[in-house]
């Protein structure tokens, strides 16, 4: 499902216009990004938690040359699924399985 399909599904479920739903979704994403980027986690009970997490410096390889490179430490966004979301996926409600 892409963003436009998500907007259409939410608009149908809430009886709102796609334009209004798009504004709401964009605002929600902006608020989550702002909060997480400032270090505050965003917890949606039953769905999951968005948070910033440190990633340590490490050594990697250039895939073309095989040369070792240093990858610096950074902070990355992380999502942890909540119990309700995990349970819904685990009970077979997910129709499609992502292939590795």
Segment 51-98, tens digit of pLDDT? 999 999 999 999 999 999 999 999 999 999 999 999 998 887 656 655
Share of the chain above pLDDT 90, in %: 86
- Residue 37: partners with Cβ closer than 8 Å, 6 or more residues away: 52
Cβ distance 22 to 5 under 8 Å?
no
Q: Is the domain 45-100 a CATH 4.10.520.10 member?
A: yes
DSSP three-state, residue 1: coil
| DSSP annotation string for 54-96 | EE--EEEE-TTT--EEEEPPEEEEEEEE-HHHHHHIIIII---
**Cα–Cα distance for residue pair 5/98, rounded to 1 Å:** 18
């Amino acid at each position: 499902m892409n963003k436009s399909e998500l907007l259409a599904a939410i608009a149908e479920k809430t009886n709102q216009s796609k334009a209004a739903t798009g504004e709401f979704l964009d605002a929600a994403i902006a608020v989550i990004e702002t909060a997480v980027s400032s270090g505050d986690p965003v917890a949606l009970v039953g769905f999951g938690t968005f948070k910033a997490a440190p990633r340590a410096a490490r050594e990697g390889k250039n895939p073309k040359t095989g040369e070792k490179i240093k990858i610096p430490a950074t902070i990355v966004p992380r999502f942890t699924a909540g119990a309700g979301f995990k349970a819904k996926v685990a009970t077979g409600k997910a129709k499609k399985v992502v292939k590795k």
